[in-house]
Amino acid sequence: MSVKVEVIEGGIPHNKIMIAGVICTLLCIYLTYLNVVTKTEMFSFFGGLAVVAALIWGSHTIKVLCSYGIGTGVPSAGMIAFGSGVIAMLLATKFGILAPIVALVLAAIIGFILGYVSNNILNMKIPAMVQALTEMAVVGALSLMGFAALITGGFGFTGLTTKTVSYMGMSVMTHQESFLGGCLIAVAFLLGSIAIQHPFNATLGPGWKQDRMLMLTAECGFLSMIVAAIMSFALISASSAFISLIIAIIGWAYTYSEYMNMSKRDAAAWLDSKPIPDVEGH
């Protein structure tokens, strides 16, 4: 038995966002494969765009799920999304070029079983539960794969665990300076899980508007991408990392100003109050 607190009124239907999210995310992750084709690292920034696309889809899924009062808080949804996603993503990296597809399928299986467990064994009986947990596991897995592609330039297991550095003219393999060995994945994990749960948590309520929430998600996604792009200076060439950083900053600045405009639009009354003036004689 559950009470649905809000209904989606107007806006883009969820299925459309989901399909667009899957296609954009997979496409962007696969575009980072141009790094291998062209033997550069310039296309790593597509990983960050994949993260933004996946997060936009995921935050709308959280909205669908958390519209039913699940009683555990919105952040828990972000945590289970990335908790189940990281497990699928780590195994999927072993499948080479097929990795993003395998991540999608494997995460969907894990999410489906977790959804069954919550709905039937734990007796939640929420209609959207199974689909929402399935989608969120996929979002978590693909976002982490996007972060991996952004930071390392690739999404294969070897690329995530190994880095070749030239030391006095010789190329030496190092495992410490890598996405997994240096545990950059932990930072990516929290960057993503905070970015996915914050937007709905911040905008929920009677004045909820779909476009404002999705713009906030894009803003959070680009903010995470800035941090990840800075981290990528350690693992890919400086010029490639710089491209990612510039794109992230431009994206963030645009989405932030748009979000501020939407917030002012939706505010009941907005007054640009100046700082309290210093009056003489007080």
DSSP secondary structure of 51-75: HHHHHHHHHHHHHHHHTB--SS-HH
58 binds another protein (CB under 8 A): no
258 burial (CB, 10 Å; 0-12 / 13-18 / 19+) is: middle
DSSP character at residue 42: G
Q: Choose the binding region for another protein from 15-23, 155-163, 219-227, 256-264 (rule: CB under 8 A).
A: 155-163
Smallest distance from another protein to CB 70, Å: 6
Nearest residue to 139 (alpha-carbon basis) of 50, 252, 249: 50
118 binds another protein (CB under 8 A): yes
Give the number of residues in contact with another protein, rule: CB under 8 A: 61
Q: Choose the binding region for another protein from 48-56, 157-165, 205-213, 255-263 (rule: CB under 8 A).
A: 157-165
Q: Choose the binding region for another protein from 17-25, 41-49, 52-60, 92-100 (rule: CB under 8 A).
A: 92-100
In the complex with another protein, the residue whose CB is nearer, 36 or 249, is 36
Phi, psi at 170, each rounded to 5°: -100, 145
Cα 216 from Cα 194, distance rounded (Å): 12
2 binds another protein (CB under 8 A): yes
Q: How far is CA 160 from CA 56, 90, 250, in A?
A: 25, 10, 27
DSSP character at residue 97: G
Smallest distance from another protein to CB 225, Å: 20
Give the count of beta carbons closer than 10 Å to the beta carbon of residue 272: 5
Phi, psi at 72, each rounded to 5°: -120, 5
Strand 163-167 to strand 170-174: parallel, antiparallel, or no bridges (unpaired)? antiparallel
Per-residue contact flags (x/-) with another protein for residues 59 to 88, judged by CB under 8 A:
---------xxxxxx-xxx-xx-xxxxxxx
Q: Return the residues of window 216-275 that contact another protein according to CB under 8 A.
A: none
Contacts of 69 (CB under 8 A, 6+ apart): 2, 3, 5
Give kind and range of the element (H or E) at residue 180.
none
Selected from 30, 95, 242, 256, the binder of another protein by CB under 8 A is: 95
Smallest distance from another protein to CB 282, Å: 33
Smallest distance from another protein to CB 64, Å: 15
120 binds another protein (CB under 8 A): yes
Per-residue contact flags (x/-) with another protein for residues 8 to 37, judged by CB under 8 A:
----------------------------x-
Which residues sit at the interface with another protein, rule CB under 8 A?
Answer: 1-3, 5, 36, 68-73, 75-77, 79-80, 82-88, 90-91, 94-98, 106, 110, 113-114, 116-118, 120-126, 154, 156-159, 161, 173, 175-176, 178, 180-183, 185-186, 189
